[in-house]
Amino acid sequence: MGLEVVKGSRRTVLAASALVATASVVGAVSGAPTASATSGRGPKPTVVLVHGAFADASGWAEVVEDLQRAGYPVLAPANPLRTLSGDAAYLRSVLATIAGPIVLVGHSYGGAVITNAATGNPAVTALVYVAAFAPDQGEPVGLLQGQFPGSQLNETTLDFRPYSLPDGTASVDAYIKVDSFRAVFAADVPRSRSTLMAISQRPADARTLGEPSGAPAWQDIPSWFVVSRDDRAIPVAAQRFMARRAGGNVTEVRTSHAAMIASPDRVSKVIVDAAENTVR
């Protein structure tokens, strides 16, 4: 079906362009199938990468490049970092717009978000935890972090800054102090990059530490874990405990908490392994 455009009618051309753009957006939001990469076994899953606290989606840059070279569609949405339930609800809405199977990846606090967002979603075929929290029902991430020794995230390395909520009440954002960031979060990342990460970090509302987690998706969805042996944010013992409890496939890497930046090839390999072993 074509559009007849009167010569010189710029308004008609603009209107037609707007209709095409609107139709594209509506189709995407409604979950309509879109073009996806394919392999010999059929369409590849979309890999959704979820960042954690004190970070943003740019931390996945090298992993995104690896996955795209391997033919995977990739999405790295912004994690609101406000409340666990709210962050999970937001991610759930993002997942609802994706056609086909999904491999869901979480770093750090992002692991708690995917644990809640994937529950009951048959499109999610695998969960990948990268130096991440995988809480059980009723567990706050703060409890898991403090249950094992070794974390350097504490009152001496964190800054707390109050801010106002829309309803007029107050809450508090937590940042890692700029002069502590590299040691705590990214000790094996080049200093120029870790400095930029420290300055541009996104804070997490302190409420995320104490909110109990919901029913865990890892009870029903196969899981993979990248455990960071030199992690000073989430103790390695905590990571091993959560991986063992979930019955996950474990790869240990000698990296800092920023494993996806310090060792993107190893992280990408685990994600591809999860995809190849759960999507047929």
pLDDT at 191 over 70: yes
Confidence at residue 19, expressed as pLDDT on a 0 to 100 scale: 32
Confidence at residue 9, expressed as pLDDT on a 0 to 100 scale: 35
The mean-pLDDT minimum among 55-59, 144-148, 202-206, 263-267 falls in: 144-148
pLDDT at 24 over 60: no
Mean pLDDT of the chain: 88
Confidence at residue 276, expressed as pLDDT on a 0 to 100 scale: 97
Q: pTM value?
A: 0.86
Confidence at residue 258, expressed as pLDDT on a 0 to 100 scale: 98
How many CA atoms, within 13 angstroms, populate the side-chain half-sphere of residue 71?
11
The mean-pLDDT minimum among 18-27, 102-111, 137-146, 164-173 falls in: 18-27
pLDDT band at 41 (very low <50, low <70, confident <90, very high): low
The pLDDT tens digits for 222-279 are 999 999 999 999 999 999 999 999 999 999 999 999 999 999 999 999 999 999 999 8
- The residue-averaged pLDDT of 173-194 equals 98
pLDDT band at 43 (very low <50, low <70, confident <90, very high): confident
- The residue-averaged pLDDT of 150-155 equals 95
Q: Which residues pair with 161 in a beta bridge?
A: 173
pLDDT at 118 over 80: yes
pLDDT at 20 over 80: no
Confidence at residue 38, expressed as pLDDT on a 0 to 100 scale: 45
pLDDT band at 280 (very low <50, low <70, confident <90, very high): confident
Query: What class has domain 38-278?
Result: alpha beta
pLDDT band at 16 (very low <50, low <70, confident <90, very high): very low
pLDDT at 207 over 60: yes
Q: Which residues pair with 170 in a beta bridge?
A: 164
CA distance 274 to 218: 13
